[in-house]
Amino acid sequence: MRYRIRHSTCYVYTEPVSLCHNEVCLRPRNAARQKCHQIELDVSPPPDTMARRADYFGNQIEFFTVQERHKRLEVTCQSEVTVEPFAPPMASLTPPWEDVAETMRGNDACRHLEAVQFVYESTYVRYHEQLAQYALQSFPARRPVIEGALDLMHRIFKDFKYDTRATNVMTPIAEVFDLRRGVCQDFAHLMLGCLRSLGLPARYVSGYLQTTPVADQERLIGADASHAWVSVYCPSFGWVDFDPTNDTIPSDKHILVAWGRDYADVSPIKGVILGGGQHSLKVAVSVTPIN
Does residue 51 share a domain with residue 128?
no
Residue 244 lies in a domain: yes
Does residue 279 share a domain with residue 163?
no
Does residue 219 share a domain with residue 168?
yes
Whether the CB-CB separation of 263 and 124 falls below 8 Å is answered with yes
Residue 77 lies in a domain: yes
Does residue 154 share a domain with residue 51?
no
Q: Is the pTM of this model over 0.75?
A: yes
Partners of 256 in the beta sheet? 207
Does residue 126 share a domain with residue 78?
no
Rounded CA-CA distance 187/245 in Å is 6
Please state, as a whole number, how many other Cβ atoms lie within 10 Å of the Cβ of residue 202: 26
Does residue 42 share a domain with residue 170?
no
Rounded CA-CA distance 180/161 in Å is 6
> What is the dihedral angle through the alpha carbons of 181, 182, 186, 191, rounded to the nearest 10 degrees?
40
Does residue 137 share a domain with residue 232?
yes
Nearest to 206 by CA among 137, 263, 143, 271: 263
Angle between helices 129-136 and 184-197 (to 10 degrees): 80
Does residue 227 share a domain with residue 286?
no
Pairing type for strands 269-275 and 2-24 reads: antiparallel
Counts of helices then strands in the chain (DSSP H, E): 7, 13
Does residue 176 share a domain with residue 100?
yes
Return the SS3 of 175.
Answer: helix
**CATH number, domain with residue 224:** 3.10.620.30
Does residue 158 share a domain with residue 227?
yes
Does residue 9 share a domain with residue 95?
no
- The pLDDT score that the predictor gives to residue 247 is 97
Residue 232 lies in a domain: yes
Residue 160 lies in a domain: yes
Domain span including residue 69? 2-83+267-290
- The pLDDT score that the predictor gives to residue 212 is 57
> What is the domain count for the chain?
2
Return the SS3 of 193.
Answer: helix
- The pLDDT score that the predictor gives to residue 108 is 83
- The pLDDT score that the predictor gives to residue 257 is 97
Partners of 123 in the beta sheet? none
| pLDDT tens sequence for the chain (291 residues) | 999 999 999 999 999 999 999 999 999 999 999 999 999 999 999 999 999 999 999 999 999 999 999 999 999 999 999 999 999 999 999 999 999 999 999 888 888 999 999 999 999 999 999 999 999 999 999 999 999 999 999 999 999 999 999 999 899 999 999 999 999 999 999 999 999 999 999 999 999 998 655 556 665 555 567 999 999 999 989 999 999 999 999 999 999 999 999 999 999 999 999 999 999 999 999 999 987
Count, residues in the chain: 291
Pairing type for strands 161-162 and 181-182 reads: parallel
Nearest to 259 by CA among 5, 29, 64, 94: 29
Does residue 58 share a domain with residue 97?
no
Nearest to 145 by CA among 230, 240, 229: 240
Rounded CA-CA distance 8/73 in Å is 11
